[in-house]
Amino acid sequence: MYKNLYSYPFLETAYQGKPYYKLEELYDYVTSEGYEKHVINHLDRNLYTSLNEHVRDNLIFLRETGLPSHKQEQFNFSNLNKLFNRDILNTNELAVSYLDRIEKFDYLVDPDVLNEIILCDSNVLASETLSKRRPYNLQILDISKINKNRHLEYVKLLDNTDNFSNLTYGLSRFPNVIVFPNGSKERFYKNPIKIKYANSSDEPILECNTTIIDVQYDTSVKIKESIQTRAGQMNYTTYIVRENSTLEIERNSNDFGGWSLFDSRFICHPGSTVKIKFKNTGSSYTQENFYFKISSDVNVELIGRNNIFKGNEYHQFVRVRSVDHDNRSIVDIKNVGDEHARTSFVGKYEINSTSIGFDGQMDNRNLMLSPTANMHTRPILDIYTKEIACTHGCTISNVDKDQLYYLQSKGFDKHSAKSLLIDSFLC
Amino acid sequence: MTIDNLQNNLYKEGFVTELESETFPAGLDETVVEKLSKIKNEPEWLLKFRLKAFKRWKEMSEPQWSELDYNPVDYQALSYHSAPKKFDKDEIPPEIFETFEKLGVPLHERDALLGLDTEKPKPDNLIPTVAVDAVFDSVSVATTFKAELEKHGIVFCSISEAVQEHPELVRKYLGSVVPYTDNYFATLNSAVFSDGTFCYIPKGVRCPMELNTYFRINARNTGQFERTLIIADEDSYVSYLEGCTAPAYDENTLHAAVVELVTHDNAEIKYSTVQNWYPGDENGIGGVYNFVTKRAKCEGKNSKVSWTQVETGSAVTWKYPSCILKGEGSIGEFYSVAVTKGKQQADTGTKMIHLGKNTKSTIISKGISFGDSTNTYRGSVKINPGASDASNFTKCDSLMLQDSRALTIPYITSLNDSAKVEHEASAGKISEEQMYYLATRGFDEDDAMNLVVNGFCKDVFQKLPLEFAAEANKLLSVTLEGAVG
Amino acid sequence: MLKLKNYSVENVLENIDIEFDTGKTYVIMGPNGVGKSTLIHSIMGRPDLEVSGDLTFMGSDISELPVDQRARLGMYVAFQAPTSIPGLSNFQMIKQALNLKGSELAEHLAKFRDTTEKFNLPKDWDKRNVNTDASGGEKKKNELIQLSLLNKKLAMLDEPDSGLDVDGVKSLVSFLNEWRTQHNTLIVVTHYDRLIYDLNPDAVIVLKKDGVDIGDTDLARRIFSNGFDNV
């Protein structure tokens, strides 16, 4: 996001008769006695304090990087009513639900698919087979199943990843946790788990899918993610990749009309590898962010191929923060912008003074197909030590006229030639 | 020898000149602005311009978005005017003359030969190649070859003089590229600007000499607010160089200059800067704050402006020499070498704004950092909807000689699909391979590093006028001494 | 000229004794990875190599000397993969190395251009950046041009033939024949039989995993017929 919204009020108090809520009011709610009582009763004081700080950071973060003004009308906080009226920390409402028991999510369920996890309306749904010892033995934990110590461990881990917070993370209940156990090299690689992010409502919701995916030691995991947003939706997933583990993600986002905010945070322990391939077509407003905190001997590959359809918006923030030696990172993102598409890319490499041997590349190439498109790119390097090799590059241009002519001279009509060139760009 | 004890020893320009001067008491309000205008005998319209700017400045606040960390400036503790006591321009006081001689700036016409070296033997019939306007604190103390240049119709004089002798020109162009509302420091400058250079090159004239302005700060606790205005009329050409130094005071000195360039059809201005303001000592005490607004408007078709800068001094540098590429086919170039060491901080770069069709911009930025310094490249390339077939190429490289902080922050936006924008950046150190290779050729560590760094800066140094390329090279090697390790 | 005694390079070579005499030509052979380049660079003083034993050059112990001083004493190494130095031109490097001024400068530039032509390199070679934007063969030729201009007593060439075509090798041989005299020493690391025979070395040194064999061109011939292991 390249707009700093600090200077104007985010969310007016009324728009077309529907109530909207200022962020300050939201803040008032979560710092109110009622909220405090809920949290402390169900969890504990320390957690309340850190949640509070999270919320405050969230609000600032969202205010600064939130939606552009013309999208405000779509960001409807009317769900705040739900918050005021109900106890979102009431753990009785939660349970890991089996696919065949939750009717309202019927439409999301494909009965033939057995290795799928559905994250919907901040619930986690998974088929029974996933938690069975063979072949998966996944631990799928929601707040009712997670013990206090484990809980605090996660809180500490998340806290340590430097000020990254998200509004809804603070507001919604503690994340659902999916744990891939130690030492499985093949199980989750040969049979990738599918994860679907969805929301059931026709209205954008405040409660997002907050998830922690914990890939334990010496494990290789492959996940296929799909994101379907009917109305507005916020997803916030923290991926913890522990020592010597590998996590590969293939993510596809499809535009079903709604807007989408997806923050993915990766905490990479020494010796881990994370490879992500993602595709997005944008939406009325999409913000897809990736944050990496990498310790030592970590290998990160983030490859995005986004063909942003007419009139869609796609904004991206990528931050790789290296805090120790011998990390490698490749960020390679290509965007295609059609008529009236708006895209922005802000990428940041933050390399601290102990990141000796860091080797990084960042590439953002943009294909601008129409004069009505609006494309912005900002690759940033912030480096504190000389023992590194870091490059970045970006381009913005249209389809190459010479290549177009070449294909046309071979018999392709203009449209097909252009399509061919767009496809080859996105390879 | 460590870098630290070289910091101060190296800044040989850090001496102070003792002489009688007229200095305003510290403080800034309307009366100071009025007094300033009166002392220069300025016309009503200019006083109004200053007052409007001052009023605006009071409503503004210092921008906070940079990565720079500096002690706040107490604007009321500075004096806004300091000049050597009244003297006749034909008879420069010996102290001033000696000062400039020490700095290598030729003030007497007979001394102007191949640039700034006044020690070489002088043949009698040598054609002068450099005209100098010397600015000492708030006033221009000498301008050489004015008459010679006038023969070509070229106006080269201090801006105070230009206000008296060519008011219509000044009035037309002052504030046309950097409006008084532009930013905090430009607004301040518009209110209290002291002296600077005014230059007008008439149609079809190619300026026969290098024009050079040399700024020397001397008085303590004064702010420096130069204002330079260069106008190149159709089909003209001028190459201009700006040099600067200051004494090594413990307090920070504020230098907030504004430079405006205008080029008409087919005109070209080459603007080079070798900035060597006092950088502060190894603990970051003292040093000049260099907050400058420099902008060129390529008004005419096929006009061209190139900014070349070598920044080695000042405690804090904050400047973005920019080009507004309005005329069809106009070209903007930015070549920069910025060296930071000790506690220096630099946040510099450029803005290339493409408005017209077929406009072209090239940016080559080389940052060298060591010590505890911060070296930031911040650049913006904006392709507006009307800029069809525009093209930009940017290359930013950061060379870290020691662990320091190097930042690259490019902002690139395109609103036109037929434009091409390309940006490349890299960061790293001198490779051990390169050092070893040069060692096998007999170069010791310092020499090897100098060669590699010079090679690193070559693309930029090549753009400097010949006379100054040598000086820049020398300045660079002096600045780098002891940086190995 | 050069004497190695009880000379070891950690993890690569152990306890070797070799003497290189003035006025002679030596060829070093050995299977890939055995440490030929490492040997050469260790003699040159490359910082990351752990060396022990005696190393004497022209009678004095050089084991403590940094690389640039060894170079100034008259030692030269032609790299197998020459390092690129952007922004530094080929001739500029020579100029700085020899601290050339005035008439010397002009002389050397002329000689540089001459040698460039002999090696069939582009006319503007003196202005090209060191080993940047040059093909493999061009870089190797560049190493030889430097040798011709810098005053050296000991030249160690690391696979100077790789990257050169037939004509290039011919130029290499004629260049080396001109260069070597009674007063200097030439050491060439190579796999190429023709080059070895054309150079007619005074000794052939074969580095093997378990030690060093020293012989003459017959030794080389046997290796070319039977391989390294069967000799």
Per-residue pLDDT at A166: 43
Q: How many domains does one find in chain B?
A: 1
Per-residue pLDDT at A169: 46
Would you call B440 and C72 a contact, using CB atoms and an 8 Å cutoff?
A: no
DSSP per-residue letters across chain C: -EEEEEEEETTTEEEEEEEE-TT-EEEEE--TTSSHHHHHHHHHT-TT--EEEEEEETTEE-TTS-HHHHHHHTEEEE-SSPPPEEEEEHHHHHHHHHT--HHHHHHHHHHHHHHHHHTT--GGGGGSEETSS--HHHHHHHHHHHHHHS--SEEEEESTTTT--HHHHHHHHHHHHHH--TT-EEEEE---HHHHHHH--SEEEEEETTEEEEE-HHHHHHHHHH-STT-
Containing structural domain, residue A124: 5-425
Chains B and A touch (3+ CB pairs under 8 A): yes
Query: If DSSP codes are grouped into helix, strand and coil, which group holds residue B221?
Result: coil
Question: Given a cut of 70, is residue B293 above it in pLDDT?
Answer: yes
Could you read off the pLDDT of B464-479 as tens digits, one per residue? 888 778 778 888 887 8
Could you read off the pLDDT of C137-175 as tens digits, one per residue? 899 999 999 998 888 899 999 999 888 888 888 889 999
Could you read off the pLDDT of A119-162 as tens digits, one per residue? 877 777 777 677 676 667 788 877 667 777 777 777 777 666 54
Per-residue pLDDT at B482: 62
How distant is the Cα of B436 from the closest Cα of chain A, in angstroms?
A: 17
Could you read off the pLDDT of B320-346 as tens digits, one per residue? 999 999 999 999 999 999 999 989 999
* pLDDT confidence tier of residue B357, bands split at 50, 70 and 90: very high
d(CA A398, CA A94): 50
Question: Given a cut of 50, is residue A261 above it in pLDDT?
Answer: yes
- Contact in structure between C9 and C49 (CB atoms under 8 Å): yes
Residue A290's identity, in one-letter code, is F
Q: Which class for A366: exposed (0-12), middle (13-18), buried (19 or more C-beta within 10 A)?
A: buried
Chains A and C touch (3+ CB pairs under 8 A): no
- Contact in structure between A221 and A195 (CB atoms under 8 Å): no
CA-based radius of gyration for chain C: 18
Q: Six-digit token pair at B448? A: 């090897």
* Interior angle at CA B96, CA B92 and CA B101, nearest 5: 105
d(CA B107, CA B98): 10
| Residue given tokens 């460039």 in the structure block | C116
Containing structural domain, residue B378: 14-430
d(CA B126, CA B110): 9
- Please enumerate in sequence order all residues whose Cβ is within 8 A of that of A423, keeping only pairs 6 or more positions apart, or say none: none
Region of A163 please: left (phi>0), alpha (psi -120 to 50) or beta.
left
Per-residue pLDDT at C33: 84
Is residue B264 a part of any domain in this protein?
yes
Q: Measured between beta carbons, which residues in chain B are less than 8 angstroms from residue A370? A: 417
Nearest residue of B to residue A395, measured between CA atoms: B422
Is residue B439 a part of any domain in this protein?
no
Which of C230, C191, C187, C188 is CA-nearest to residue C30? C191
Could you read off the pLDDT of B199-235 as tens digits, one per residue? 999 999 999 888 988 888 888 888 889 999 999 999 9
Q: Six-digit token pair at A326? A: 């011998």
Question: Given a cut of 90, is residue B253 above it in pLDDT?
Answer: no
Question: Given a cut of 50, is residue A65 above it in pLDDT?
Answer: no
Could you read off the pLDDT of C182-227 as tens digits, one per residue? 999 999 999 888 888 888 899 999 988 778 888 888 888 888 888 8
Kindly state the DSSP code that residue B214 receives in the 8-state scheme: E
d(CA A241, CA A332): 21
Per-residue pLDDT at B436: 93
d(CA B26, CA B37): 16
| Residue given tokens 């522990």 in the structure block | A242
Lowest-confidence range among A73-82, C5-14, C120-129? Answer: A73-82
d(CA B293, CA B291): 7
Q: How many domains does one find in chain A?
A: 1
Query: If DSSP codes are grouped into helix, strand and coil, which group holds residue B466?
Result: helix
d(CA A117, CA A178): 10
How distant is the Cα of A241 from the closest Cα of chain B, in angstroms?
A: 28
Per-residue pLDDT at A330: 97
Could you read off the pLDDT of B41-94 as tens digits, one per residue? 999 999 999 999 999 999 998 887 777 888 888 898 888 888 887 666 567 777
- Contact in structure between B403 and A386 (CB atoms under 8 Å): yes
d(CA A420, CA B207): 53
Q: CA torsion sign, A91 to A94 to A96 to A101?
A: positive
A102-to-A89, A90, A225, C96 alpha-carbon distances in Å: 20, 19, 21, 80
Query: If DSSP codes are grouped into helix, strand and coil, which group holds residue B252?
Result: strand
How distant is the Cα of B270 from the closest Cα of chain C, in angstroms?
A: 23
C155-to-A2, A110, A149, C16, C147 alpha-carbon distances in Å: 59, 74, 69, 20, 8
Q: What residues pair up with B381 in beta bridges, in sequence order?
A: B352, B412
| Residue given tokens 């230098």 in the structure block | B255
Question: Given a cut of 70, is residue A39 above it in pLDDT?
Answer: no
- Asked if B428 has any chain A CB less than 8 Å from its own CB, the reply is yes
- Which C-chain residues 76-95 have CB contacts (< 8 A) with chain B? 76-77, 79, 82-83, 85-88, 93
Per-residue pLDDT at B117: 42
Q: Which range has the top average pLDDT, A45-59, B139-153, B192-206? A: B192-206
Question: Given a cut of 50, is residue C82 above it in pLDDT?
Answer: yes
Q: Measured between beta carbons, which residues in chain B are less than 8 angstroms from residue A381? A: 398, 406-408, 425, 427
Is residue B168 a part of any domain in this protein?
yes
Nearest residue of B to residue A354, measured between CA atoms: B403
Instruction: Give the number of other Cβ atoms within 10 Å of residue B88's Cβ.
Output: 7
Strands A374-383 and B405-414: antiparallel
Region of C102 please: left (phi>0), alpha (psi -120 to 50) or beta.
left
d(CA B237, CA B262): 12
B172-to-B42, B163, B196, B221, C71 alpha-carbon distances in Å: 16, 11, 17, 33, 64
- Contact in structure between A48 and A36 (CB atoms under 8 Å): yes
d(CA B124, CA B48): 49
For A346, list phi and psi in degrees, rounded to 5. Answer: -120, 115
Q: What residues pair up with C155 in beta bridges, in sequence order?
A: C76, C186
Question: What mean pLDDT do residues B369-397 have?
Answer: 94
Q: Which class for B129: exposed (0-12), middle (13-18), buried (19 or more C-beta within 10 A)?
A: middle
Question: Given a cut of 70, is residue C110 above it in pLDDT?
Answer: yes
Could you read off the pLDDT of C18-68 as tens digits, one per residue? 899 999 999 999 888 888 999 999 999 888 888 999 999 988 999 888 888
d(CA A406, CA A411): 9
With helix as H, strand as E and coil as C, how does chain A read? CCCCHHHCCCCCCEECCEECCCHHHHHHHHCCHHHHHHHHHHCCHHHHHHHHHHHHHHHHHHHHHCCCHHHHHHCCHHHHHHHHHCCCCCHHHCCCECHHHCHHHHHHCCCCCCCEEEEECCEEEECHHHHCCCCCCCEEECCCCCCHHHHHHHHHHHHCCCCCCCHHHHHCCCCEEEEECCCCCCHHHHCCEEEEEECCCCCCCCCCEEEEEEECCCCEEEEEEEEEECCCEEEEEEEEECCCCEEEEEEEEEECCCCEEEEEEEEECCCCEEEEEEEECCECCEEEEEEEEECCCCEEEEEEEEEECCCCEEEEEEEEEECCCCCEEEEEEEEEECCCCEEEEEEEEEECCCCCCEEEEEEEEEEECCCCCEEEEEEEEEECCCCEEEEEEEEEECCCHHHHHHHHHCCCCHHHHHHHHHHHHCC
How distant is the Cα of B442 from the closest Cα of chain C, in angstroms?
A: 4
How distant is the Cα of B427 from the closest Cα of chain C, in angstroms?
A: 15
* pLDDT confidence tier of residue C83, bands split at 50, 70 and 90: confident
d(CA B470, CA B455): 14
Question: Given a cut of 80, is residue A332 above it in pLDDT?
Answer: yes
Would you call B429 and A386 a contact, using CB atoms and an 8 Å cutoff?
A: yes
- Contact in structure between A394 and A379 (CB atoms under 8 Å): yes
Query: If DSSP codes are grouped into helix, strand and coil, which group holds residue B20?
Result: coil
Would you call A386 and B404 a contact, using CB atoms and an 8 Å cutoff?
A: yes
Per-residue pLDDT at B276: 84
H or E stretch at B79: none
For residue C109, the Cα-to-chain-centroid distance in whole angstroms is 23
Would you call A395 and B405 a contact, using CB atoms and an 8 Å cutoff?
A: no
What percentage of chain C carries pLDDT values higher than 70? 99
Would you call C77 and B448 a contact, using CB atoms and an 8 Å cutoff?
A: no
Which of B432, B444, B456 is the closest to C68 by Cβ? Answer: B444
Strands A14-15 and B268-275: unpaired
Could you read off the pLDDT of A20-38 as tens digits, one per residue? 344 445 555 555 666 566 5
Question: Given a cut of 90, is residue A279 above it in pLDDT?
Answer: yes
- Asked if B63 has any chain A CB less than 8 Å from its own CB, the reply is no
How distant is the Cα of A339 from the closest Cα of chain B, in angstroms?
A: 10
Per-residue pLDDT at B358: 96
Which of C92, C81, C104, C185 is CA-nearest to residue C146? C92
* pLDDT confidence tier of residue B365, bands split at 50, 70 and 90: very high
What percentage of chain A carries pLDDT values higher than 70? 64
Class of domain C2-226 (CATH, top level): alpha beta
